[in-house]
Amino acid sequence: MNARLIIALIWLALPLHAQGFAGLGQGGEGFALPEPGRVFDFPADHGAHPDYRIEWWYVTAALTGEDGRDYGVQWTLFRSALTPTGPQVWMGHFGLTTPDAHFTGERFARGDIGQAGVEPTPFDAWIDDWLLTGPTFDTLQLTAQTSEAGYDLALLAQGPLVFHGDAGFSIKSQSGQASYYYSQPFYEVTGTLDLPEGPMKVTGKAWLDREWSSQPLEGDQEGWDWFSLHFDDGFRLMAFALRGGADFHYASWIAPDGTLTPYYGDALGLEPLATSVVEGRDVPTRWRLTLPAQQVDVTVEAVNPGSWQSTLFPYWEGPVRVTGSHAATGYLEMTGYE
């Protein structure tokens, strides 16, 4: 899920921003680099890895309200080390999507003073008063609010952690840039959205991504499209395409028991079907996604095409509805559309 990597690196405010979402030629010199065959150590690995340049805790929740409408929630905490020995800085993103509105929030903090951080046991990730906290990684409470809207959700894991790529070593380009990447895709969610028109009780499914690395992308990769889908039959799918240079495709097919099958390259088909004009840009908000190996041929459509995160480094992120060979709810993130 390099989506997040690039945001974080751009957020480091490297000249990248001026060059668009491309050109991530920054080296990881002095930082630790991901290597295949890592033995993950939990709960310690739920905490921060300051030797690595960038890292995040990324929650997306596809929800249904009491009124039967679709809602979506995003909560992200990014950590970044400015230099291998230097200061750690933190960034939080807030997203709340309804079929006709989208709310954005953003927070920043310096490390080492307690304004933001992550503790593995008991699990506690926070920036200001935006919290992801619970006795274990399986039982979490998610709260955040802006001046316009907020949410308070309980997340209960119904399955195991899953490890993308080669047992958590996730390759991001033809030339081998990689990250450590695992997820908890099996949360059941209950809770309340605090909307301008009043509170809304919601239920649904959430997905938590953990990823860290130091130098993940090729210089000519300019953006990505990332999908996380919860199928009605209990299967999960994570799929992404990195655009630019030689396009790079990857998908994780996850069985209800947590068994993960990775697919590379042409095994995953992604085709934009329709675009919407969002903030002056053409963004694909309806997709055809195919994974023939699992007989998947579906149409993915944004619940709200205007799910634009107008943060310091803006991108599109919002809930989707899936129809076709399989029915699903899920989340879509797209960056690099200028």
Partner 1 sequence: MNRAALGALLSHWVRHPLQALTLVVGLALATGLWTGVQAINAEARQSYDRAAETLGQSALPRLEGPLTLRDLATARRAGWPVTPVVEGRLPGSRARLLGIDPFTAPPTGASDDLAEGAGLTGFLTGDLVFAAPGLDLPDGLPEVRVLDDLAPGLVLADIAVAQRLLQTSDISHLLVLGQAPVGAPPLTDLLPGTTLVDPAGQGDIARLTDSFHLNLTAFGLLAFLVGLFIVHSAIGLAFEQRRPLFRTLRALGLPTGRLTVLLGAELLVVTLVSGTLGILLGYLVAAVLLPGVAATLSGLYGASVSGSLTLSPLWWLSGFVMAGAGLALAGGQSLWQLARLPVLAPAMPRAWARAQATTLRRQAMAGVALLLLSLSLALWGQGLVMGFVCLGALLLGAALLLPPLLSVILDFGTGRARGALSQWLWSDTRQQVPGLSLALMALLLALSANIGVGTMVGSFRATFVGWLDQRLAAELYVDPGTAEEAAEMVSFLEGRVDAILPVISVETLLEGAPGDLFGQVDHATFRDNWPLLDAVPDVWDRLAAGEGALVNEQLARRTDIWAGGQIDLGAGGTRDVLGVYSDYGNPRGQAVLGIDDFNDRFPGVTPQRYGLRVDPARAPEVSNALIEAFSLPEGRIIDQAGIKGFSLAVFEQTFAVTAALNVLTLGVAGFALWASLTTLGAMRVPQVAPVWALGLSRGRLAAMDLLRAVILAAFTAALAIPVGAALAWVLLAVVNVQAFGWRLPLLPDPLGWLTLAAWALVAAALAAALPSWRLWRMPPAQLVKVFAHER
Note the residues at the interface with partner 1 (CB under 8 A): 12-17, 82-83, 86-87, 89, 108-110, 113-115, 126, 128-129, 145, 147, 150
Burial 215-241 (b: 16+ CB within 10 A, else e): bbbbeebbbbbbbbbbbeeebbbbbbb
C-alpha radius of gyration, the chain, whole number: 18
**At 229, is the secondary structure helix, strand, or coil?**
strand
User: Toward partner 1, which CB reaches closer, 108 or 235?
Assistant: 108
User: Toward partner 1, which CB reaches closer, 19 or 174?
Assistant: 19
What's the min distance (Å) between Cβ of 172 and partner 1?
A: 21
User: Toward partner 1, which CB reaches closer, 13 or 255?
Assistant: 13
Q: Which residue has the tokens 């899953």?
A: 162
What's the min distance (Å) between Cβ of 325 and partner 1?
A: 44
Name 127's bridge partners.
116, 130
User: Toward partner 1, which CB reaches closer, 134 or 305?
Assistant: 134
**From CA 40, how far away is CA 167, in angstroms rounded?**
9
What's the min distance (Å) between Cβ of 83 and partner 1?
A: 6
Going by their DSSP bridges, the two strands 178-195 and 169-171 should be labelled as antiparallel
Dihedral angle at the C-alpha atoms of 27, 30, 36, 41, nearest 10 degrees?
Answer: -130
User: Toward partner 1, which CB reaches closer, 116 or 268?
Assistant: 116
What's the min distance (Å) between Cβ of 114 and partner 1?
A: 4
User: Toward partner 1, which CB reaches closer, 88 or 299?
Assistant: 88
DSSP 2: H
Q: What are phi and psi of 3, to 5 degrees?
A: -40, -55
Alpha-carbon distance values, 179 to 28, 49, 229, 244 (Å): 12, 12, 21, 19
What's the min distance (Å) between Cβ of 15 and partner 1?
A: 6
What's the min distance (Å) between Cβ of 80 and partner 1?
A: 10
